[in-house]
Amino acid sequence: MENVFLSIGHGYAAARVARALPDGWRVIGTTRSTERAAALAAQGIEPVIWQDGGPVAALAEAFAKATHVISSVAPGEGGDPVLQVLADLPAPRLRWMGYLSATSVMGSGDDWQDENTPPAPGTARGKARLAAEGAWQAFGQAQSAGVAALRIAGIYGPGRSAIDQLQAGTARRVVKPGQVFNRIHVTDLGRIVAAAAVQGATGPFLLCDGDPAPPQNVVAHAARLTGLPCPPETQFDPAAMSPMARSFYSENKRLRSVRIGPELGISLLYPDYRAGLAAIAAGQA
């Protein structure tokens, strides 16, 4: 049977997933604009124009062909907008689905957590993500398809890193004592999700590096690598932040995966932000 990989909300991270799939896989990606559709076609991705609330005929046709599906679309106030559409569509060939979730479903604290740690989201965003994970699991059961909940840490990579922020003059070094979190280089993210799809892996996976670190340290290291001026430290002030930023700084996480290596056979190319930033600075990532 031909492997047909449908990527819903095909963007920065999903592009690396498609790149990591084995040769011979057919990849279909959804986008909301004709301009982006042309860019996908140039990359060898079959584009489908779809957005929440729009016509579903093209998405329905793609979903009926798909053997594997990932969704990068975040939940909204009314739940997961993708599932609200897919629930009424036939999927006769479907074998596996991957929901690109977030580590916000995990609890906050100084203790180390892994895939065996029960999720305990402390923010509205985390609770919405966990609810979406449950909805995807239920949908998978109804479709007799395996489902992986891919809990992704802070994504960085070429074009989206502390180096790029320094170059753009937008980098900040906000210090909240004790706060650390994990990251994942987009190349490793793509390799992990592709391996999960190929192997039909199910259940929760933490997509994170092995070095939870304060964000201000990452910016300082990027400045040392590039020779760019390092912005001064500023103290955490929730009153001066957007709701999204306040939510981000409200949590502290130390995460590690106990499944990616043993079950998927993946060893990270960039096990910490130092390795990842060095590759970006050298133009190798």
Does pLDDT of 246 surpass 90?
no
Does pLDDT of 245 surpass 90?
no
What is the per-residue pLDDT for 66?
98
R_g over Cα of the chain: 19
The residue among 150, 143, 147 whose CA lies nearest residue 14 is 150
**Contact 153/211 with Cβ under 8 angstroms?**
no
| Token pair 């402390």 in the structure block, residue | 122
Say how many C-beta atoms besides its own lie within 10 A of residue 254's C-beta. Answer: 18
Residue 240 placed within a domain: no
What type of residue sits at position 281?
A: A
CA dist 85 and 96 (Å) reads 18
What is the per-residue pLDDT for 234?
93
What is the per-residue pLDDT for 68?
98
CA dist 144 and 230 (Å) reads 52
Residue 281 placed within a domain: no
Say how many C-beta atoms besides its own lie within 10 A of residue 257's C-beta. Answer: 25
Each residue's pLDDT tens digit, 171-194: 999 999 999 999 999 999 999 999
Does pLDDT of 71 surpass 90?
yes
Helix then strand count (H, E) for the chain reads 11, 13
The burial of 21, by beta-carbon neighbours within 10 Å (0-12 exposed, 13-18 middle, 19 or more buried), is given as buried
Residue 176 placed within a domain: no
| Percent of the chain topping pLDDT 90 | 91
pTM, whole model, 2 decimals? Answer: 0.96
Residue 59 placed within a domain: yes
CATH code assigned at 123? 3.40.50.720
Residue 245 placed within a domain: no
**Contact 95/30 with Cβ under 8 angstroms?**
no
Each residue's pLDDT tens digit, 33-66: 999 999 999 999 999 999 888 889 999 999 999 9
* DSSP letters for 15-63: HHHHHHSPTT-EEEEEES-HHHHHHHHHTT-EEEE--TTS--HHHHHHH
Cβ burial 139-157 (10 Å sphere, 16+ → b, else e): bbeebebbbbbbbbbbbbb
Residue 66 placed within a domain: yes
What type of residue sits at position 199?
A: Q
CA dist 7 and 30 (Å) reads 6
Residue 18 placed within a domain: yes
Each residue's pLDDT tens digit, 3-31: 999 999 999 999 999 999 999 999 999 99
Mean pLDDT of the chain: 96
- Total domain count for the chain? 1
**Mean pLDDT calculated for residue range 235-258:** 88
CA dihedral (219, 223, 229, 233) positive or negative: positive
Does pLDDT of 162 surpass 90?
yes
What is the per-residue pLDDT for 255?
98
Q: Which domain range does residue 38 map to?
A: 4-157+182-210+254-269
CA 217 to chain centroid, in Å, comes to 22
Each residue's pLDDT tens digit, 84-123: 999 989 999 999 999 999 999 999 999 999 999 999 999 9
Residue 196 placed within a domain: yes
